[in-house]
Amino acid sequence: MRATEILSHKRDGGTLSAEQLRFLIRGYLDGSIPEYQVSAWLMAVYFRGMTGEETGELTREMIASGDSIALDPARRPYVDKHSTGGVGDKVSLVLAPLAAACGVSVPMMSGRALGHTGGTLDKLDAIPGYLSVLDPERFAAVIGEVGFAMTGQSERIVPADRKLYALRDVTATVESIPLITASILSKKFAEGADALVMDVKCGRGAFMKTPEDARALAESLVRTGAALERKVVAVLTRMDEPLGAMVGNFLEVEESCRILAAPEKPAAGFDRPAFEDARLADLIEVTLHLTAWMIVLAGKAPSRDAALALARERLLDGSAYRAFCANVEAQGGSLKDLEAGFGTRRAPLTEEICAGTDGVITEIDAYRIGMAGVDLGVGRNRAEDDVEPDVGIELFAKCGERVRAGTPLCRVYAVSNDALRAGRERAAQAFVIDPGAGAESLGPRVIEELHELE
């Protein structure tokens, strides 16, 4: 078998066999196939695409390139959730303990912020003492103790993805749907997940800008999951304005705890239930919807509607917050120090951005808010950049709300005057106020759902 034959076959629109993909991936890892030939293959895939079976074989080979985490078979099925990335997207922080409280075993391998999108690991790192990177043995043990665990990707998990992603980044092939699919599913299934719920976001603040592009990715994920004999549910959600009210690492942890601690708000230090705050309605809607599908995939409810009712019940009876607290302690965090920071732990420099005219907020550009967060230190321009745990943006209003001139729209938190100035200017550009518009929200956050469940 020769690499040039594989390249020409894919260049001409052919389908590669499992043996050809194995030869290519293993040759890339051991150095027998040079990077320039793999780059040519990536570009051929970008233009020619891959079948579901072909993408499944690629995913399977990527999983085989490294270690897989061995989880207790008695707790199966294991169900995870993954998001394609957004702004203010702290869904995982609420969803994982909520699903665990409903009896789902959740192995969650998360990433860090890059560009305008936030990273779950950076949020977890804002919890005092929390260990956001666990070895496989401890990862499995925490799931056994509290029902879920959250960690970063080990160097030993899917090394082929790490090498291929770096190469995709410099060959303009990141946007290839089959390659995105294989990258996501290889990591999730190597961590021990038996099934997966995908939050495929679309809009200004998302990687996929249009519903059509998001649907194409969703279909690829579901189709490839079926080829691997794994159940995948893909849910398309809007990401035009930030989710919830907070954008920032500790700010988003605090907001997640506010939702989880709804029935225990005096003990947690919150002044009113999250369900009474209209700014959080979109976040709660998306979280409950995704959690419900996890419950269905785990066989803990017969239908999505029944699962949704169970999730609401566990959120309101305090079970989800108790699961969150148990996880914080199991992963080395200080619950006392975490709760002590609620409402008070903020970067020292602040400034409010106010409406310049009367009217209705018709747009809060999630991308601009996300990049304002990067200016402040919430996220990264490069993987090696540090983040600031206590900076960020707090939204006081959402799309569809009527405001008057001088009404505060958001507050910016920063650690330096330069960062404050840059973040404030970018955040101010995110708001569009129309004096002639009627009060109207963006509508439901959930657009569509795709699956092959019987």
CB 395 within 8 A of CB 279: yes
Q: Which of 80, 89, 125, 161 is catalytic?
A: 161
Q: Which of 183, 220, 256, 319 is catalytic?
A: 183
Question: Reduced to 3 states, what is the DSSP secondary structure of residue 414?
Answer: strand
The question of whether 105 is a catalytic residue gets the answer no
The question of whether 82 is a catalytic residue gets the answer yes
The question of whether 116 is a catalytic residue gets the answer no
The question of whether 451 is a catalytic residue gets the answer no
CB 97 within 8 A of CB 260: yes
User: In whole angstroms, what is the distance from residue 370 CA to residue 59 CA?
Assistant: 31
What tokens were used for 77?
């099925």
The closest of 379, 380, 364, 368 to 425, measured between CA atoms, is 368
Q: Which of 10, 168, 188, 230 is catalytic?
A: 168
The closest of 175, 179, 231, 219 to 448, measured between CA atoms, is 219
- The count of other CB atoms within 10 Å of the CB of residue 266 is 9
The question of whether 68 is a catalytic residue gets the answer no
What tokens were used for 389?
């745990």
Q: Could you report how far apart the first and last alpha carbons of the chain are, in Å?
A: 40
Q: Which helix (H) or strand (E) holds 412?
A: strand 408-414
Q: Which of 82, 279, 398, 426 is catalytic?
A: 82
Question: In degrees, to the nearest 5, what angle opens at C-alpha 121 toward C-alphas 115 and 124?
Answer: 130
Q: Which of 90, 187, 279, 451 is catalytic?
A: 187
Which are the contacts of 83, defined by CB distance < 8 A and separation ≥ 6? 89, 91, 92, 198, 199, 201
Positions marked active-site: 82, 161, 168, 183, 187
